[in-house]
Amino acid sequence: MVAIRCTKKLLARIGAPSPVIEPTTTLLGDWYARPVSIGHQRLILLISEHSRLPVILPGRDVKHLASNFPDALARVFLGLGIETPAAEREVEAAREAVIGVTDNRSLLGTLNDFSFMLQWQLPGRPNVDLLQAALELSHTPVRPLGRAGFPDRVTRKLLA
């Protein structure tokens, strides 16, 4: 089971969050999500609690965020070359997701930083693949992660 913790703006489009959220059973922790608008393109940016690994989804189908998320996560893992049993367990656990509210300001800060980066990177590349954009963001150093502060490296370490 995994919790997808959404910003108020995203919850306004999805609906009411779950009143009670059990602890997440995954190595990457809860996932934090926010909408991102780049020109006419609407996206949903998600990051993991423990590694800050980004996943980007099209924003046109927000009502099905929880059901679309596991396949997008699996594509990011494959793009990073992570094919471990732990990665498979993460994807399977993500198939049982609940929607909640955000509760960590540090993670909201990383979401904001990544969304600003996307707003600079994507307008000049109209045909960019969302997987490629997520993989590029995963190579961005994130200070709260410490000395090994790259989401892709931390994810590999957690799932090794």
CATH number of 34's domain: 3.30.420
Domain assignment present for residue 31? The answer is yes
**The predicted structure's pLDDT at residue 9:** 95
* 131 domain-assigned: yes
Q: What pLDDT band is residue 18 in, cutting at 50, 70 and 90?
A: confident
Within-domain flag for 89: yes
CA distance 149 to 151: 6
Q: Which residue has the higher pLDDT, 148 or 54?
A: 54
Q: pTM for the whole thing?
A: 0.94
User: Does a structural domain hold residue 46?
Assistant: yes
Give the residue numbers spanning the domain of 67: 2-155
The more confident residue out of 148 and 104 is: 104
**pLDDT tens digits along 24-81:** 889 999 999 999 998 888 999 999 999 999 999 999 889 999 999 999 999 999 999 9
Quick check: is 160 in a domain?
A: no
Provide the number of structural domains found in the chain. Answer: 1
Q: What is the mean pLDDT of residues 86-103?
A: 95
33 occurs within a structural domain: yes
Rounded to an integer, the average pLDDT of 111-132 is: 89
Mean pLDDT of 152-157: 95
**85 falls within a domain:** yes
Q: Considering the domain boundaries, does residue 97 fall inside one?
A: yes
